[in-house]
Structure 1
Amino acid sequence: MKAKRKDMCTQLLERYNTQGKACLQRILTGDKSWVHLYDPECKAQAMEYRHKTSISLRKFKVVASARKVLFPLFWDMDGVVHMEFLEQGQTLNSERYISTLRALKPRLRRVRRDKDSILQHDNARRHTSRQTQNAIKQLELTTLPHLAHSPDLAPSYYYLFPQLKKYLKGHHYDNDEEVVADVRRWCRRQSSELFADGVRRLVKRLRLCVDRNGDYVEN
């Protein structure tokens, strides 16, 4: 597995070394995540609101709400290109993912216009199934190689989702619509530089992975 990761990273770095910034501008990265209607603050966040000399009160353990919303999100160096929020009970299987890709295609034409896009998603079953691969060919989408168990090389997981979830921690939402609206607002408020920085960091992570002979890259 490590050898395969190193080979993949080497191939991507060779492409970057040849194409430079243009290579990064082509990347359209996509992943799915969950957002809870309530996700408690971590200990470090809670400490930010208390002076170091103030009395520490004992707190009961609080867990995230059972109710949560699943959403796939696609973004590039300029910002969010497309996102969807699934109905409660829906799963992101091959059929549902193909529906998402079909909705993504016209968004690419409107948002990215003449930019040539390369889709980066992992090799989950819904992405690699024959049904999905046929749809990708029909939609004329180009994909980047990405190995299993490599969230450390996926910009959404090592960069965007952690920032979004840090913002959401401690917020209470009464229903799905409220958390969906806040996720959309957060995405709209972010500058293009934030998204560009997330993609640029991929190059550093690819190099670290190669230097470590394919080992996992810690945050």
Structure 2
Amino acid sequence: MSEISEKIRYVLQFYFDNRWNASKACEKICAVYGDDALSQSTARKWFARFRSGNLDVKNAPRSGRPITDKVDEIMEKVQIDRHISSHDIARELKINHNTVLNHLHKAGYKKKIDVWVPHELSEKSLINRISICESLLKRNEIEPFLNRMIVSDEKWITYDTRKRSWSETDERGTLPKPELTKKKLMLCIWWDCKGIIHYELLRPGQTIDSNLYCQQLLRLKEEIEKKRPKLIDNNHVVFHYDSTKPHTSLMTRQKLRDLGWEVLMHPPYSPDIAPSDFYLFRSLQNSLSGIKLSSEEDCEKHLHQYFKDKTPDFYREGIMGLPNKWQKVVSKNGQYLD
């Protein structure tokens, strides 16, 4: 607390003791210390505190771990899951939402297609985006591979549940009052130019780690054998994912080598050229707008119907639009696409 703030609070206490109201006290203080010295709402807050019997002008000591620890945890959560919302980070770490936003912005992060990415790409990142996109463009001209590509990604699906709490009423007693509680499920999905190959909904609050992801890859292999047998028979799977930790861990890389699948190059911090982010998830999110989901079952039903309603042309358009995206990245010298 600054020296001037402490002085103003003692002055507020003096006016309170002399039975002034908060508004008049605020005017007097601002006349002496400047218009920005004190707000009406702050003056009313301190007067309410004095009326309660608490005449201490010092801030209560703060509990919890140092804020530097929280900053590290915020950044760790973003590194693990770049789709995580700032509200979820605040709720999980039990800190103010604005605190989360402030530290993410100070660290240079912003949301791009619902994914946390650096606000300004470094020179190395720009060069990576250009060189990888140029390489993919040339390869696709020589040996078209997009019809062999399987895209892997995750997205949070939120829903509201109602729980009952007790609220005081009149002489009739208490009545149950419904309250909304937000929950979320992680959608893990794998798709190609023909449609959805496999998807899973994790338990509420459960996230991906390397061990779980490797188990999912084995289940995915079984689905590919059923739905795209030629890809397995000819060992032609081209696998695409982003650079989150569970995807790029040593365990995951070894599992993909064991499966014999080629991993497609994808530059870090590039949701604008990731088919799930710029295409599938955008469409899915639009379908969720205005829809009230109240249970896991509602989420499952909505996803099932959404995927069922999409034609093969829809999925093909999302995959086959990639060369145009790559070309735009090269033309814009690696900068993010709008």
The percentage of counterpart residues that share the same residue type is 27
TM-score by length of structure 2 reads 0.55
Contact kept in structure 1, 2:185 and 2:206, CA below 8 Å: no
Q: CA deviation at 1:65?
A: 6.5
Cα distance between partner residues in 1 of 2:181 and 2:205? 16
Q: Look up the equivalent residue of 1:66 and give its one-letter code.
A: K
Tell me which of 134, 143, 146 is aligned to 1:24.
146
Contact kept in structure 1, 2:197 and 2:223, CA below 8 Å: yes
* Larger strand share, 1 or 2: 2
2:337 counterpart residue number = 217
Q: Look up the equivalent residue of 1:89 and give its one-letter code.
A: G
Gaps of 5+ in 1: 39-63
Q: Does 1:95 align with 2:211?
A: yes
1:7 counterpart residue number = 131
Cα distance between partner residues in 2 of 1:138 and 1:117? 13
Cα distance between partner residues in 2 of 1:65 and 1:207? 44
1:161 counterpart residue number = 281
Shift >4 Å, 4+ stretches: none
Cα distance between partner residues in 1 of 2:135 and 2:309? 35
Q: Look up the equivalent residue of 2:247 and give its one-letter code.
A: H
Q: Look up the equivalent residue of 2:127 and give its one-letter code.
A: A
1:148 counterpart residue number = 268
Cα distance between partner residues in 1 of 2:223 and 2:307? 16
TM-score by length of structure 1 reads 0.84
Give the alignment's Cα RMSD to 1 decimal: 1.4
Taking the TM superposition and a 5 Å limit, the aligned residue runs for 1:7-156 are: 7-20=131-144, 23-37=145-159, 66-115=182-231, 116-156=236-276
Cα distance between partner residues in 1 of 2:267 and 2:203? 29
Deviations 1:10-50 (A, max 9, x none): 11101111123xx1101111110011115xxxxxxxxxxxx
Structure-2 change in CA distance of 1:65 and 1:3 (3 Å): farther
Gaps of 5+ in 2: 1-124, 161-179
Structure-2 change in CA distance of 1:37 and 1:89 (3 Å): closer
Count of residues in correspondence between the two structures: 191
Cα distance between partner residues in 2 of 1:35 and 1:89? 10
Structure-2 change in CA distance of 1:67 and 1:9 (3 Å): same
Q: What secondary structure is seen at the aligned counterpart in 1 of 2:333?
A: coil
Q: CA deviation at 1:79?
A: 0.3
Cα distance between partner residues in 2 of 1:66 and 1:8? 39
Q: What secondary structure is seen at the aligned counterpart in 1 of 2:182?
A: coil
Q: Look up the equivalent residue of 2:201 and give its one-letter code.
A: F
Per mean C-alpha deviation after superposition, the further-off stretch among 130-139 and 150-159 is: 130-139
Contact kept in structure 2, 1:36 and 1:65, CA below 8 Å: no
Larger radius of gyration: 2
Contact kept in structure 1, 2:183 and 2:205, CA below 8 Å: no
The one of the two structures with greater contact order (alpha-carbon pairs below 8 A, sep at least 6) is 1
Q: Look up the equivalent residue of 2:182 and give its one-letter code.
A: A
1:196 counterpart residue number = 316
